[in-house]
């Protein structure tokens, strides 16, 4: 959020903060969320780079199209294990996955 907009909202009586403050999340919980979101973005980027549909990708990783959609959306019902297995099955190297995890919070497409 732009600094000027934040200041304007605060002057109007609004409290401005992040999800971690609102949900009272610990640093570890926020880090886990950041990793999950980064892995989900990396999976979508990987599939798009392969120029295949979610249905085709699902067949390659042994899942369903709807599950791939949930994986790419960062749905909390999707385990980090499934995200990792799907990235590995799709050809991501351990080094690529490590960079995504290390850069959690950044756009995986730029890692």
Q: Three-class SS string for 67-95?
A: HHHHHHHCCCCCCHHHHHHHHHHCCCCHH
Using the structure block, give the residue that is written with the tokens 């989900």: 40
In a domain, 6, yes or no: no
pLDDT at 108: 52
pLDDT at 106: 57
pLDDT digits 0-9 by tens, 79-101:
999 999 999 999 999 999 999 99
Determine the Cα–Cα distance for residues 42 and 52; give it in Å rounded to an integer: 15
In a domain, 110, yes or no: no
pTM: 0.76
pLDDT at 73: 95
In a domain, 53, yes or no: yes
pLDDT at 109: 55
User: For the chain, which ranges sit under pLDDT 50?
Assistant: none
pLDDT at 38: 94
In a domain, 90, yes or no: yes
pLDDT at 58: 96
Q: Which CATH number fits the domain that encloses residue 98? A: 1.10.260.40
In a domain, 20, yes or no: no
- Total domain count for the chain? 1
In a domain, 31, yes or no: yes
Instruction: State which residues form the domain around 69.
Output: 25-105
């Amino acid at each position: 959020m732009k600094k000027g907009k934040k200041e304007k909202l605060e002057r109007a009586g609004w409290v401005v903060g992040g999800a971690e403050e609102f949900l009272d999340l610990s640093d570890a919980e926020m880090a886990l969320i950041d990793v999950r979101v980064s892995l989900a973005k990396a999976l979508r980027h990987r599939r798009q780079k392969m120029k295949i549909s979610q249905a085709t990708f699902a067949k390659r990783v042994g899942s369903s199209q709807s599950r791939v959609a949930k994986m790419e959306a960062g749905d909390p019902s999707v385990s980090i294990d499934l995200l990792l297995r799907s990235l590995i099955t799709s050809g991501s190297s351990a080094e690529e996955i490590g960079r995504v995890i290390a850069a959690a919070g950044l756009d995986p497409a730029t890692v």
